[in-house]
Amino acid sequence: EVQLVESGGGLVQPGGSLRLSCAASGFTFSSYDMHWVRQATGKGLEWVSVIGTTGDSYYPGSVKGRFTISRENAKNSLYLQMNSLRAGDTAVYYCARDGRAAGSFDLWGRGTLVTVSS
């Protein structure tokens, strides 16, 4: 089955760190750019990062310097290392596949909840 499954979410204190994982299956993971997108409760979608097939990565200003996206093709896995977490980072984090055309996400996971609170 073609799917993405996120894990690693949880409760973390402000200033803390967390590493999210996304396990891909059913497709050739190494052939796709991959993204992280987040959504705070009751709010809209916010793009968090992208990693290309060659390992190049990009971030919006809101997380640049604090978050690092990485991938391990041999394990069909995507990661998001989140440091210096703030209350505003509280959200459901989705991984998504860039499948149909550059920058459109045709496959999404169910998400993992990250809560930043003391």
Partner 1 sequence: DIQMTQSPSTLSASVGDRVTITCRASQTISHWLAWYQQKPGKAPKLLIYKASTLESGVPSRFSGSGSGTEFTLTISSLQPDDFATYYCQQYNNYLCTFGQGTKLEIK
- Per CB under 8 A, residues contacting partner 1 are 35, 37, 44-47, 50, 52, 56, 58, 60-61, 94, 100-106, 108-111
Smaller CB separation from partner 1, 35 or 71: 35
Position of tokens 């996120």? 6
Residue positions counted in the chain: 118
By beta-carbon proximity to partner 1, the closer residue of 60 and 88 is 60
The alpha carbon dihedral of 23, 27, 33, 38 has a sign of negative
Cα 32 from Cα 29, distance rounded (Å): 6
- Closest distance to partner 1 from the beta carbon of 12 (Å): 23
